[in-house]
Chains A and B, each alone.
Chain A
Amino acid sequence: MSASYILKRIALIFYTLFVVSILVFGITQILPADAAVMMLGENATQDALDALRTQMGLNDPIWLQYLHWASGVVQGDFGTSLRTGQPVGPALFSALGTSLTLAVLALALMLVLAVPMGILAAVRRGKLSDLVVGFISYIGVSLPEFVTATLAVVLVADLWGLLPPAGYIPLSEDLWGGLQRLILPVCVASVMMIAHVSRMVRSELVDVMHTDYIRAARLKGLTPRRVLFRHGLRNALLPTITIVALDVGYLLGGIIVVEEIFSIPGIGRSLMSAIQARDLPVIQAGVMIMAATYSIVNFAADLMYAWLDKRIQYD
């Protein structure tokens, strides 16, 4: 993995953000909503609206508006929310923090569960445990978040009263309370990935365990434990890294639903309410941030892969 490879990947991130920015800006420009009306509300007089439009540069040509916006974004200024009249950046980034807490915990849970499940299924292939894992994963990939979320709230929170049903407390304020309120959302957010990744791990590991070098390792008299963990797992998990990184995209989507249902003030919810309120600056910034997160995660994954798997020669 050479410096130029890393350079290339970084360049790619910027290209990605560029494309996304154009896309988002384009879409938000055509959205059926008048920013000025959004801002002033239904009681605004025509001249007040016109004044604001000129002030917001809504009468400039699109490309000029894009330039203004983009240059702002580059300097970390995402404009002001039409809904709250407050700067978008700070609000969204604190929201992002919340979402990342959720996402990271979900990822962690996923890894803790999915990988062992996959290994179990692969090792005891065709046995009961394999079937069980397979069944679970089929269910898992087939339940949309909003269904799992509703079920979770009804059962765990309402009927059994084990956990708080919703709401969010920053971990910094109240660690235990915050965690309690995160348990359900995290579980819901990770279900789909657990199902998917455990399947991936299984199939990868099954393939690996049929390779010559595993046979060789066995015939060298190594203990089954060492064969599995030192020789098998390593190679099986390599491709899983990429899978997980790609799934992060899905996770970010799922988080939108989870945050909506569990009233978590994350970036997903900001986006939802922004979309409902046609709060263009927030939509634009939100999508940009999500895309950035996704690309960075995948960038990290690629580096990790390249670092772990010395075989690949990057230009």
Chain B
Amino acid sequence: MPLNRRAFLSSSVALAALATVLPRAVMAQATPEAGGTLRVAVDQAVSVIHPLLTRVNPEYMAAELMYSGLTRLGRDMQAEADLATEWSANDDLTVWTFNLRPGVTFHDGAACTAADVVASFEAILNPDFASPARNNVGPIASIEAVDDVTVRFTLSSSYADFPVALAYNNARIIPASVIEGSFESLRTVANGTGPFKLVSYEPDRLIVVEKNPDYYDPARPYLDRIELHVFPDLGAQVSSLMAGDIDMIATVGPNDYMRLEGQDSIDVLRSASGQFCNVNFGTDIEPFNDPRVRRALALTVDREAMVDFMTEGFGVKGNDTPLNESYPFFEALPQREQNIEEARALLAEAGFPDGFEAELIASDRPAIRVQLAVALREMARAAGITINVTTMPHATYLDQVWTKGAFYVGFYNMQPTPDGILKLLFTSDAAWNETRWNNTTFDDLVARARATVEPAARTDLYTQAQALMNEEVPSIIPAFFDVLGAKRSWMQGYDIHPRASVFRLDHAWLEASAPTRG
């Protein structure tokens, strides 16, 4: 056992070391050329650039460009070194020590030391600042600066994935001075240790960043300048890519993907992922407090068709658990298929022989939510269940339905680890306990898994947890989406990340053939 553990730790360190030298993304590539301006299209306004408060992918992208975390997430979902060069843990994985990269400075020239790291994490954990990271960086009990380049985290419980958890989008390091001063000030200005500095910021139109000459890696970033252009209209951003106005689209829909596929000098990017759209039950509300009803509904779903309707084939069938091949420690359960008879039978058992009527709420963005709702409505009809679809603006949805509703559509990025997604949504102490499923057996399985290092054992625990979910169906997860993107061929050093919220544009570079832009 200890051996294994030691092996695990050293491997992660070695891996981290490797990462600093040669990130996977660029290993295959030709030697990067420096310089140039990259234009990126994002589909939502970048309303927030405060690294601890960002909430949507375009905001994550902006923050990632200007700020660093202790670790960052590789395409293989492993932690790679960022501000921390290496790390180690005590035997029961409750005390983690991180060695910081020396001589790193913030954009304003001030040195970035352990003090800033401590301050940043205290801010993240401070409820008043309401940082989404608070629930995602693991069970941190305390954090202290051992010296200028060493920080030690003490956890309230064992957590094997801690280094990965620290790569969370909102777990960025900001100057202690800011936190003591005006925390909010980072909404309009940026001062991080990231590869790029903020030049200009217009939330609804354009965010411009320029190369940070003092970035800790002398080689990177390769680009002089990156512009994030906001395109609320998806069609427009695709057209602009084809017109050569922009070099890359962070995420495209399946139809646009198909449209771009095969266009010359355009590369479409695709990665299998754990990203999914699901139907959440308020498991404490009639009639969904009865597992049989939930399973009945799950049985009405024609998952093959769902994959078509929702992803145009760019996805895989879901099995009503948030895990799939894209996650480590995954083992597949028998696939649930459509079975109307069984569904009817279950309903009868549950006291709904001739079905029931329910209101399914879907926020209006992204459109995929409504598509799921509309499709489910038709499928459920076969089992005598009448679903009335209600759509509402996302803001209203967040305010009134999200984590409160009885029957509504959710949408989630892939998380770095199985623990990440389960702790985020389904355990009793989940950050966003949407289903109020609160199954103690399940909680226990997850808790044990996060404290287990030995892969087979972990896999086994997660598989049990999955089985439990698949049986109880706190949420219908009909399909997983591949994440899709596109770029001009002249853009190199970029590949789409399964997590969909990680971009690593500091590795990107432009070929000579790329248009030169002011």
Determine the interface band of chain B, counting residues with CB < 8 A from chain A. Answer: 35 or more
The answer to whether A263 and B232 have CB atoms under 8 Å apart is yes
Check B91 for interface membership: any CB of A closer than 8 A.
no
The answer to whether A41 and B132 have CB atoms under 8 Å apart is yes
The answer to whether A166 and B398 have CB atoms under 8 Å apart is no
Which residue in B204, B233, B236, B403 is a CB contact (below 8 Å) of A270? B204
Contacts of A85 in B (CB 8 A): 48, 184, 187-188
The answer to whether A83 and B236 have CB atoms under 8 Å apart is no
Contacts of A166 in B (CB 8 A): 231, 233, 236-237, 239-240
Interface string of A21-59 (1 = CB under 8 A from B): 000000000001110011011111101100100000000
Contacts of B364 in A (CB 8 A): 276
The answer to whether B236 and A32 have CB atoms under 8 Å apart is no
Which residue in B45, B184, B188, B399 is a CB contact (below 8 Å) of A83? B45
CA distance A116 to B425 in the complex (A): 64
Which residue in A51, A95, A278 is a CB contact (below 8 Å) of B393? A278
Check A161 for interface membership: any CB of B closer than 8 A.
yes
Rounded to whole Å, the gap between the CB of B433 and the closest CB of chain A is: 12
Check B203 for interface membership: any CB of A closer than 8 A.
yes
Which residue in A43, A261, A265 is a CB contact (below 8 Å) of B236? A261
CA distance A278 to B47 in the complex (A): 13
The answer to whether B55 and A41 have CB atoms under 8 Å apart is yes
Check B396 for interface membership: any CB of A closer than 8 A.
yes
Contacts of B127 in A (CB 8 A): 45, 47-48
The answer to whether B240 and A167 have CB atoms under 8 Å apart is yes
Rounded to whole Å, the gap between the CB of A308 and the closest CB of chain B is: 40
Check B135 for interface membership: any CB of A closer than 8 A.
yes
Check A151 for interface membership: any CB of B closer than 8 A.
no
Which residue in A34, A43, A165, A174 is a CB contact (below 8 Å) of B130? A43
Interface string of B46-57 (1 = CB under 8 A from A): 011000010100
The answer to whether A32 and B399 have CB atoms under 8 Å apart is yes
Rounded to whole Å, the gap between the CB of B397 and the closest CB of chain A is: 10
Contacts of B204 in A (CB 8 A): 91, 95, 265, 269-270, 273
Contacts of B130 in A (CB 8 A): 40-41, 43-45, 48
The answer to whether A34 and B399 have CB atoms under 8 Å apart is yes
Contacts of A168 in B (CB 8 A): 205
Q: Which residue of A lies closest to B364 (CB)?
A: A276
Contacts of B206 in A (CB 8 A): 265
CA distance A168 to B232 in the complex (A): 12
Q: Which residue of B lies closest to A150 (CB)?
A: B235
Check B22 for interface membership: any CB of A closer than 8 A.
no
Interface string of B177-219 (1 = CB under 8 A from A): 0000000100110000000000000111110000000000000
Q: Which residue of A lies closest to B187 (CB)?
A: A85
Check A153 for interface membership: any CB of B closer than 8 A.
yes
Name the interface residues of B428-477: CB closer than 8 Å to any CB of A: 431-432
CA distance A42 to B48 in the complex (A): 14
The answer to whether B45 and A273 have CB atoms under 8 Å apart is yes
Rounded to whole Å, the gap between the CB of A30 and the closest CB of chain B is: 13
Interface residue count for A (Cβ, 8 Å)?
Answer: 45
Rounded to whole Å, the gap between the CB of B412 and the closest CB of chain A is: 13
Contacts of B188 in A (CB 8 A): 85-86
Check B332 for interface membership: any CB of A closer than 8 A.
no
Contacts of A84 in B (CB 8 A): 47-48, 187, 203
Rounded to whole Å, the gap between the CB of A252 and the closest CB of chain B is: 18
Name the interface residues of A159-187: CB closer than 8 Å to any CB of B: 161, 164-168, 174
Q: Which residue of A lies closest to B242 (CB)?
A: A158
The answer to whether B245 and A164 have CB atoms under 8 Å apart is yes
Which residue in B53, B232, B246 is a CB contact (below 8 Å) of A260? B232
The answer to whether A153 and B398 have CB atoms under 8 Å apart is no
Contacts of A34 in B (CB 8 A): 399
Rounded to whole Å, the gap between the CB of A22 and the closest CB of chain B is: 24
CA distance A32 to B394 in the complex (A): 12
Check A301 for interface membership: any CB of B closer than 8 A.
no
Contacts of B232 in A (CB 8 A): 260, 263, 269, 272-273
Contacts of A273 in B (CB 8 A): 45, 204, 232
The answer to whether A165 and B134 have CB atoms under 8 Å apart is no
The answer to whether B393 and A276 have CB atoms under 8 Å apart is yes
CA distance A83 to B246 in the complex (A): 26
Name the interface residues of B242-265: CB closer than 8 Å to any CB of A: 242-243, 245-246
The answer to whether A43 and B132 have CB atoms under 8 Å apart is yes
Contacts of A91 in B (CB 8 A): 202-204
Interface string of B35-76 (1 = CB under 8 A from A): 000000000010110000101000000000000000000000
Chain B CB count within 10 A is highest, among A42, A47, A278, for A42
The answer to whether A164 and B395 have CB atoms under 8 Å apart is no
Which residue in B135, B236, B395, B518 is a CB contact (below 8 Å) of A277? B395
Check A262 for interface membership: any CB of B closer than 8 A.
yes
Check B400 for interface membership: any CB of A closer than 8 A.
yes
CA distance A308 to B295 in the complex (A): 76
The answer to whether A32 and B229 have CB atoms under 8 Å apart is no
Interface string of B360-371 (1 = CB under 8 A from A): 000011000000
Chain B CB count within 10 A is highest, among A85, A153, A168, A277, for A85
CA distance A48 to B365 in the complex (A): 27
Check A70 for interface membership: any CB of B closer than 8 A.
no
Contacts of B245 in A (CB 8 A): 164, 167
CA distance A164 to B239 in the complex (A): 8
Interface string of A127-151 (1 = CB under 8 A from B): 0000000000000000000000010
Rounded to whole Å, the gap between the CB of A37 and the closest CB of chain B is: 5
The answer to whether B131 and A43 have CB atoms under 8 Å apart is yes
What are 12 A-B pairs with beta-carbon distances under 8 A? A32-B399, A38-B399, A41-B130, A45-B127, A91-B203, A165-B235, A166-B233, A261-B236, A263-B229, A263-B231, A265-B206, A275-B393
